[in-house]
């Protein structure tokens, strides 16, 4: 983990600055956190109420994203913060795919991938050389120094408006990606998947209104062409994975007409931190 990344982290117990001491991070009041051999560090302050993605869910996401199916979303996220340098914090970063894409645009950026799943953090730690992966709970105080981030990313992930506001510098940007109600609509109907609330984006803006000013909003919509394994992966990597058995899912997928061509549809919204 880069020292530049450690410099923006904070102790989850007392909020003090962290410094590296060999393969550990230590704060001024002597709380110590081991850096795992896979390169990530856990900065959970206690038992999390969140259930992190399983190893199988993370593996499905890694395979699906590596195939480039959601590259248009990553491109849109990167374009949304073009020209903004400094530290980028990704809350609910998963495998680090979107954060790595943003970091690749500028050598002046460093990144912190926050996720409650240790399996996701193991992947994220290797996603980019200027990225540090940290196990953290989105609903607890984030282990990031106040005002340390120029950009916060939140892609298909839980949103803690107060903490995202706190870790952003004045004038910093928040980029939020949420699925639209017609996202993968063909698959949702055929496979009996969880539906997206059509008012999701409206509720998001209302949730952020006290702390963030809307800057821009765009729909990112594009067709997909998937085989059976990729179709299973796009389901297995999301919340529907908790509600569908693999056997039933494979049976339903096998009955789909070929080719399998759902449409991806998300909203990429940019907000600016209010002082």
Helices (H), 146-199: 161-167, 185-191
The helix/strand/coil state of 3 is helix
Spans of all domains in the chain: 39-273
CA 180 to chain centre: 17
* Torsion over CA: 27, 33, 34, 38 (sign): negative
Quick check: helix, strand or coil at residue 99?
A: helix
Residue 236 is predicted with a pLDDT of 82
Query: What is the pLDDT at residue 153?
Result: 98
State CA 4 to chain mean position distance.
Answer: 21
Please write the tens of the pLDDT for every residue from 204-254. 888 899 999 999 999 999 999 999 999 989 888 877 666 667 788 888 889
The CA–CA distances, whole Å, from 198 to 12, 79, 173, 182 equal: 36, 25, 25, 8
Both tokens assigned to 21: 């001491």
Low-confidence ranges of the chain (pLDDT < 70): 47-49, 240-244
pLDDT of residue 263: 93
User: 3.20.20.10, 3.40.50.150, 3.40.50.2300, 1.10.287.130: which CATH number matches 39-273?
Assistant: 3.40.50.150
- Give pLDDT tens digits for 64-79: 999 999 999 999 999 9
DSSP state of 157: S
């Amino acid at each position: 983990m880069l020292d530049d990344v450690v410099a923006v982290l904070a102790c989850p117990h007392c909020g003090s600055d962290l410094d590296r001491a060999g393969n550990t991070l230590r704060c001024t009041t002597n709380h110590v956190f081991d850096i795992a051999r896979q390169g990530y560090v856990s900065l959970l302050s206690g038992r999390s109420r969140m259930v992190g993605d399983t190893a199988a869910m993370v593996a499905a996401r890694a395979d699906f994203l590596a195939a480039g199916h959601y590259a248009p979303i990553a491109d849109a996220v990167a374009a949304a913060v073009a020209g903004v340098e400094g530290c980028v914090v990704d809350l609910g970063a998963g495998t680090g795919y979107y954060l790595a894409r943003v970091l690749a645009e500028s050598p002046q950026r460093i990144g912190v991938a926050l996720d409650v799943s240790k399996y996701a953090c193991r992947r994220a730690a290797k996603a980019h050389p200027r990225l540090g992966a940290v196990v953290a709970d989105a609903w607890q105080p984030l282990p990031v120094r106040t005002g340390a981030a120029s950009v916060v990313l939140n892609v298909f992930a839980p949103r803690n408006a107060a903490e995202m506001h706190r870790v952003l510098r004045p004038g910093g940007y928040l980029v939020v990606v949420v699925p639209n109600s017609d996202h993968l609509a063909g698959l949702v109907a055929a496979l009996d998947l969880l539906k997206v609330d059509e008012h999701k984006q409206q509720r998001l803006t209302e949730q952020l209104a006290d702390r963030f000013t809307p800057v821009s909003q765009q729909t990112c919509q594009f067709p997909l062409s998937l085989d059976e394994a990729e179709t299973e992966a796009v389901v297995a990597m999301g919340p529907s994975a908790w509600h569908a058995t693999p056997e039933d899912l494979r049976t339903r997928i096998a009955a789909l007409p070929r080719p399998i061509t759902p449409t991806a549809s998300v909203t990429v919204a940019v907000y600016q931190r209010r002082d």
